[in-house]
A and B are shown apart, each in its own frame.
Chain A
Amino acid sequence: MGILTDETQRNRLISLLVKYCNKLCALLYVVGLIGFLAQAYQPLNAGTYFSENALLPGLVETELPNTLLSALTYRSELEEVMKKEPSSSPNKWVYEKFKNIGLETYAQNFSVIYPFRSFNKKVVSGENVYAILRARRAASTEALVLSVPLRPLNDKDNTGTGGGIALALGLAQEFKRKPYWSKDIIFLFTEFDHLGAMAWLDSYHQTESKFIVGNDLEARSGPIIAALNLELPLNNVKYFNVKVEGLNGQLPNLDLVNLVVRLCRRERAQVRLHNCLEDKSYIYSENGDSFDDYKKALTTMLKMMWHQASGTPTGNHGWFQKFHIESVTLEGVVKKRSYTIDINTTARIIEGVFRSLNNLLERFHQSFFFYLLPSTSRYVSIGMYMPFFGLMALCGLLKGITLWVSANESSKEVKSESNEEKSEKVASAEGQGDEQSSTEEKTKEKKEEENKETAECIPEVSKDVNVTKKENVTEDVVEESLAGKGLISIVPVMLVAIMLGWMASQGPELLTHIMPNFRIQTEDMLLFSLLAIFMSALAYPKLMKNKGSSNILSLDWQLLKSVALILQTLTFASLALFNISLSFFLTAVMVPVTVVVRPSANKCFRWLQMFALLLISPLSLMYIVGLISSWPKSSALELFLSAYDSCKLLIYLGVTDTHLFNAWTETVMTACIFPVWLLFWALPWIDVPSP
């Protein structure tokens, strides 16, 4: 209990803290940031390894024929079918083929009701096809999923997945003959990518969604242990991308990622993360410590973090993770006229993955769930990156605590004076004869002493406190009530911030309910409504100021800032638990500004602060994200315009994802980050008399 009860020690600590706060904060931030980014440097991170011994990757001998003829025929058949009807996905054909193979095959209809009354696509309906290969050695108690999205040929935004479909058919035919399966294998083909996957998963687990309504499934298997999602075009696959980022920043167990990567390597197929080429030296951990290697690794890690931060899955695997199913996507990237990976190799890889998964005795639990990948074969675990993130976050917390202490001391100062006057009054009112004079003398002495002490003790308390002390003489009553209230004085600001945050998160939905049908696109409408809320929120310090007398915002800015900083740290810390990347980027961008910002008499400085705060406001951050995602453009104007478009799309997707899939990014930004930011926004508006 030493530190909790021993006052002298604590006071020493606090005075040290107050003295060196700014330097310490800067140091913490810089060390944290550099330390975090340095994790990509090869000597600082670790090579991946298998924790789960049951997987035994690559130990079984492949039982596939050298050339998987069936897959090749399926591929050419599919090519013809899709060319015939380039605008529809080949569900019927897939269904028929699976029936012919002799598996239990079912179709599931689903419809999606878009939120916000989007006119053109109000209800979308589609059909999933799935086939279950029952395990011979078990009673359908566990299942594995091989999922392939069905995409029509003329889908411009996405590459085709024909290769995956053909492969799944070919593999199903082969797998069916094998006696060794101890887990059911479900071949799942989903229409409209994520919508179909979500509908099927919802029905499989009998959860209900308001917007995606799927028919009941005719048959199901046991709990799904793992899923592999394939996005393979028909031919000319140059290399694979392994995609891991899931919903709300969730990641699959590292063992599964390792498994896929290891088996790709075994078949001499190139595997990358987000198209980042890796040097052999880095892969096999030979001298990967040159600066070039570091740059490459850092790019890979940042790309991975960038995708994770969005909170939207990079592929269909993400929706499985929502149901506690470990899953990754294997994407084939096309490059013509070069060495390509043939379909047999891919088939062997997938066979290997499924045979390893077949060995599992328990759910994935051994390896990491929280990690960052600077390459496919290196990882940064939570134990490595969290401390450095903690340092960055601590910077804000430290400043907050320091401000709290100094705010408390300044209010105590005011309080003690008023208290003494009161006690004098009490003493005189009681009037206990002889004692009275002596007590009065004593209190006077004490008062003088204390005044001296307080003056000596707290030279660090900033100038404006001294000013309030001077004002104290004239406006004694007002000051006393203000100081006494303390926390209560900042309650109105906090309430307004919370209300505005609530409006920002609920506003778009409410507005679309109330508003008449303007003929504008949903994307525009969402952006404009958010913009309107944001603009009105910007004015709130001004409005609160004009309400009463000249200066109603004369609240204790130190207290406000300290509460805001503490809340900000709490938000980032809890965000870091489920989406470290988002939290890292926000901390890296917001903390430097929010720690520095303070009321100022200097107009120039004040405007500068406001500009900086605007720059880190959630909406401008969104725009910056749009800017970065559409970076290489020929002219600046084009860049800004396309950034505007992608920002709009981003917001639209964010809001709809919240409704359709229960994604949290939008809610976090509007209901948590935005109110906290508003607290800081009030700071430069507070008047302080010029020194």
Chain B
Amino acid sequence: MAAIGAYLSGILGLVLRILLMQTSFPKWLQTMNEVVTPVTAWDRVEEGFSLQKEFVSPYSGDLLHETPLALRFLKTAYYVPFGVKGFFIMIDFFTMILLYKIAALFKDSLIREQNIEKKKYSLKAEKLVLTPEEVSSLPTLILTVHAVNPFSIMTLLAMSTASLSNLVTLAALYYFLKGNQLMCTLFLAVSTYQTFYPVIFIVPAALQFYLLKEKEVNPQYESSKSYWSKEAITSYLQTVGLFLFFVTFLLGISYLYFEGSLDFIYSTYGFILTVPDLTPNVGVFWYFFTEMFDHFRTFFVCVFQLNAVIYTVPLTVKFAKTPFFLLYILLFLTSIFKSYPSYADAALYTSLLPLWRHTFSYFRNSLFVGGMYICCMVLAPILYHLWIFAGSANANFYFAITLTYSTAQIFLVTDLLFAYLRRDYDLYNGTEHKNVDGTKAAIVLE
């Protein structure tokens, strides 16, 4: 039954995308700064191809910011049936498959972990305990959400190359859940090689593989082993070592591919890290740095980039036991704070959001956050038009919307964190909370 549902929603998603590709919609989306960034624009990739054809380095000038291997890989797009469109549809198809598999793995791991932990749960928390039937529809749900997710549809129609990086990240997530250390680190390395920010995902990955190893040795997993024991450090080093090996390997191949030139480093990672292109997008960087005096620039670039990754530390301390949740939150946070965010990043985390369906009942602001998201999606193009084309509004209007969008994302992620923690708390302490005097107590996050 579930399988039929999954097929149906998959086909629905593909048909929807193919139909929309025939309209004039993609052309408009390709010009939308919310969907396409300088790093992910397909136009720029094509420019890179033609530069290569003329035996000019595609990284000369400030045009192309794809990595060399991605550029090489994207060339295959022309040999796929139906050309570039067919290529992107194919990528979306693989994305769907991976999402389905991730959800299937995730629901099993959810039940498995619950069974281990069950004894410690409060008696008053039966309502929260998940049954296999409850989670059985998760893969179909994820697929359906992806099929109608406006973010992923827009990303695909705009032919943003971010859909490729999203696919790689999903592959990393898949092997992460599967417990395949080699493949996971490989895909993490590819993902890092592509967009740099996934480098922080190595933290949850290291934790995950350590925990998995621990579980193998000690299935009951009662004793809370130290995260700083000798075995732990060895395991971390192993994961990080593999990861570094793969990254070096990829960079080495790129180096060789460009016949001993390291130009691409500045055009890709330099571009991501130093943020020279201040074209408006949905992130927090552009407005701030257009206002910035040049001599403060370096300092604030460092601060902003640090802001994108610094949350790894506190979150790791808090969620060391649940590396996958940690990974998801980090994924979410980097897509808010990265230097060139777009709807493609939102597409990834919104498609995966239903994985945490069991915590949704603790969400407080779903209407508010949902409203904010919808408002931003509608108002952003309007305000951009008023600013750039009509000339009657100005940059502040558009910036207000991008700020709202970032705020909405932050609200959503805090909501998710809060809901997850609340559910966790309730699992161990029961769903009813009483004060000392027996009156009903409310739990407040402070």
Query: Given the complex, which residues of A lie within 8 Å of B31, measured CB to CB?
Result: none
CA distance A419 to B358 in the complex (A): 13
B390 within 8 A of A: yes
Q: Which residue in B129, B364, B382, B389 is a CB contact (below 8 Å) of A426?
A: B129
Task: State whether B392 touches A439 (Cβ < 8 A).
Answer: no
State whether B126 touches A570 (Cβ < 8 A).
Answer: no
Set of chain A residues within 8 Å of B391, measured between Cβ atoms = 324, 363, 369
In the complex the two chains form, is A566's CB within 8 Å of B371's CB?
yes
Residues of B near A574 (CB, < 8 A) are: 378-379, 382
Q: What does the 1/0 interface line of B341-384 toward A look like (CB < 8 Å)?
A: 00000000000000000000000110100010011001100110
Does A460 make an interface contact (CB < 8 A)?
Answer: no
**Residues of B contacting A515 with CB < 8 Å?**
none
Determine if A681 is an interface residue (Cβ-Cβ < 8 Å): no
**Is A8 an interface position by the 8 A CB rule?**
yes
CA distance A127 to B394 in the complex (A): 37
Chain A residues, Cβ within 8 Å of B3: none
| Given the contacts A4-B411, A369-B393, A566-B371, A577 and B127 also touching, CB distance less than 8 Å | no
Whether B389 lies near A570 (C-beta < 8 A) is no
CB of A637, distance to nearest CB on chain B (Å):
43
B-facing mask of A423-436, CB < 8 A → 1, else 0? Answer: 10011000000010
Is B4 positioned at the interface, with any CB of A under 8 Å from its CB? no
- Whether B364 and A5, one on each chain, are in contact in the complex, defined by CB atoms closer than 8 angstroms, is yes
**B49 to A: closest C-beta gap in Å:** 26
Interface magnitude class on chain A: 35 or more
A656 on the B face (CB < 8 A): no
CA distance A566 to B371 in the complex (A): 8
- Give the contacts of A566-580 with B (CB-CB under 8 A): 566, 570, 573-574, 577-578
A324–B390 touching, CB < 8 Å: yes
Q: Is A677 an interface residue (CB 8 A)?
A: no
**Least CB separation from B367: chain A residue:** A404
Q: How far is the CA of A6 from the CA of B365 in the complex (A)?
A: 11
Cα distance, A324 to B445, chains bound together (Å): 50
A7–B378 CB distance below 8 A: no
| Docked complex Cα distance between A404 and B415 (Å) | 19
Given the contacts A7-B442, A566-B371, A578 and B129 also touching, CB distance less than 8 Å: no
Contact A577:B379 (CB < 8 A) given known A324-B389, A420-B127: yes
Judge whether B392 and A369 touch: CB under 8 Å: yes
Q: Determine if A122 is an interface residue (Cβ-Cβ < 8 Å).
A: no
A401 at the interface (CB under 8 A from B): yes
**With contacts A324-B389, A401-B367, A404-B367 known, is A442 near B124, CB below 8 A?**
yes
A29 within 8 A of B: no
**Closest residue on chain A to residue B131 by CB atoms:** A426
**Residue A251, interface by CB 8 Å:** yes
Q: Are B393 and A5 in contact (CB under 8 A)?
A: no
- CB contacts (< 8 Å) of A7 on chain B: these are 364, 442, 444
> Does residue B123 face the partner (Cβ distance < 8 Å to A)?
yes
Residues in A neighbouring B386, C-beta threshold 8 A = 577-578
A152 to B445, CA, bound (A): 76
Question: Which residues on the A side are within 8 Å of B378 (C-beta)?
Answer: 570, 574
Q: What does the 1/0 interface line of B306-329 toward A look like (CB < 8 Å)?
A: 000000000000000000000000
- Contact across chains for A250 and B365 when beta carbons are under 8 A apart: no
Chain B hits for A438, CB < 8 A: 123
Taking a contact as CB atoms under 8 Å apart, the answer to whether B367 and A439 are in contact is no
* Distance A420 CA – B127 CA, assembled complex (angstroms): 7
From residue B314, how far is it (CB to closest CB) to chain A in Å? 16
B216 interfacial contact with A, CB 8 Å: no
A7-B442, A570-B375 are known contacts. Are A423 and B127 too (CB-CB below 8 A)?
yes
* Nearest chain A residue, comparing its CB with the CB of B378: A574
Q: Quote the shortest CB–CB distance from A371 to chain B (angstroms).
A: 10
A38 to B393, alpha carbons, bound, how many Å?
A: 26
Choice from B126, B382, B394 contacting A427 with Cβ under 8 Å? B126
B392 close to A370 (CB less than 8 A):
yes
Q: A4-B411, A577-B382 are in contact. Are A443 and B444 (CB under 8 A)?
A: no
Say yes or no: is A520 at the interface (Cβ < 8 Å to chain B). no
Indicate if B432 sits at the interface (CB-CB under 8 A).
yes
State A7–B363 Cα separation when bound (angstroms).
11
Across the A-B interface, how many residue pairs have beta carbons closer than 8 Å?
70
A443 to B446, CA, bound (A): 30
Which residues from A are CB-within-8-Å of B394? 365
- B287 adjacent to chain A (CB < 8 Å): no
Give the shortest distance, in Å, between B382 (CB) and chain A (any CB). Answer: 5
Does A578 contact B445, Cβ atoms closer than 8 Å?
Answer: no
Which of chain A's residues have a CB closer than 8 A to the CB of B127? 419-420, 423
In the bound assembly, the distance between CA atoms of A420 and B124 in angstroms comes to: 12
Chain A residues with CB under 8 A of B371: 566
| B444 & A578 in contact (Cβ 8 Å cutoff) | no
Instruction: State in angstroms the CA–CA spacing of A258 and B414 once bound together.
Output: 50
- In the assembled complex, B420 has its CB within 8 A of some CB on chain A: no
Q: Is the CB of A250 within 8 A of B390?
A: yes
The answer to the question of B425 belonging to the interface, with a C-beta cut-off of 8 Å to chain A, is no
Q: How far is the CB of B268 from chain A (nearest CB, A)?
A: 34
| A1-40 contact mask (Cβ, 8 Å, vs B): 1 or 0 | 1001111101000000000000000000000000000000
Inter-chain CA distance A404–B368, complex, in Å, is 11
Q: A446 to nearest B CB, angstroms?
A: 7
Q: In the assembled complex, which residues on chain A have CB atoms less than 8 Å from the CB atom of B364?
A: 4-5, 7, 10
Q: Which of A390-432 touch B at CB < 8 Å?
A: 401, 404, 419-420, 422-423, 426-427
Query: Any chain A CB within 8 A of the CB of B93?
Result: no
A439 contacts B126, CB within 8 Å?
yes
B131 to nearest A CB, angstroms? 6
Contact of B444 (CB < 8 Å), options: A6, A251, A422, A446: A6
B424-446 contacts to A (CB < 8 Å) = 432, 442, 444-446
Whether B269 sits at the interface, judged by CB under 8 Å, is: no
Task: Assess the B445–A446 pair: CB atoms within 8 A.
Answer: no
Contacts of B126 in A (CB 8 A): 423, 426-427, 439, 443
Contacts of A423 in B (CB 8 A): 126-127, 129
Complexed CA–CA distance, A250 and B393 (Å): 11
Question: Which residues of B lie under 8 Å from residue A442 when comparing CB positions?
Answer: 123-124
A496 CB to nearest chain B CB (Å)? 16
List A contacts of B367 (CB < 8 A): 401, 404
Please name all residues of chain B whose beta carbon is closer than 8 Å to the beta carbon of A1 when the two chains form the complex: 414, 445
Q: Is the CB of A8 within 8 A of B445?
A: no
* Nearest CB of A to B434, in Å: 12
Chain A residue with minimal CB distance to B134?
A422
> Residues 551-566 of chain A: 1 if any B CB is under 8 Å from the residue's CB, otherwise 0?
0000000000000001
Q: Which residues of A contact B379 (CB under 8 A)?
A: 574, 577
Q: How far is the CA of A442 from the CA of B393 in the complex (A)?
A: 61
Residues of A within 8 A of B87 (CB): none
How many angstroms between the C-alpha atoms of A438 and B127 in the bound complex? 15
Q: Nearest-CB distance from B349 to chain A (Å)? A: 20
Complex Cα gap A438–B124 (Å):
11
- Docked-complex contact B124 and A578, CB < 8 angstroms: no
B375, B392, B393, B432 — most chain A CB neighbours (10 Å):
B392
B421 to chain A, nearest CB (A): 11
Q: How far is the CA of A422 from the CA of B130 in the complex (A)?
A: 11
Per the bound structure, the CA–CA distance linking A321 and B390 in Å amounts to: 7
What's the Cα separation between A238 and B391 when bound, in Å? 35
By Cβ-Cβ distance, the 8 closest A-B pairs, closest first, are A369-B392, A324-B391, A423-B126, A5-B445, A423-B127, A7-B442, A574-B378, A574-B382
Instruction: Identify 29 residue pairs between A and B in the complex whose beta-carbon atoms are under 8 Å apart, listed by A's number.
Output: A1-B414, A1-B445, A4-B364, A4-B365, A4-B414, A5-B364, A5-B418, A5-B446, A6-B442, A7-B364, A324-B390, A369-B391, A369-B392, A369-B393, A370-B392, A419-B127, A423-B127, A423-B129, A426-B129, A435-B123, A446-B432, A566-B371, A570-B378, A574-B378, A574-B382, A577-B386, A577-B393, A578-B382, A578-B386
Q: Which residues of B contact A (CB under 8 A)?
A: 123-124, 126-127, 129, 131, 364-365, 367, 371, 374-375, 378-379, 382-383, 385-386, 389-394, 411, 414-415, 418, 432, 442, 444-446
Interface residues of A (CB under 8 A from B): 1, 4-8, 10, 250-251, 321, 324, 363, 365, 369-370, 401, 404, 419-420, 422-423, 426-427, 435, 438-439, 442-443, 446, 566, 570, 573-574, 577-578
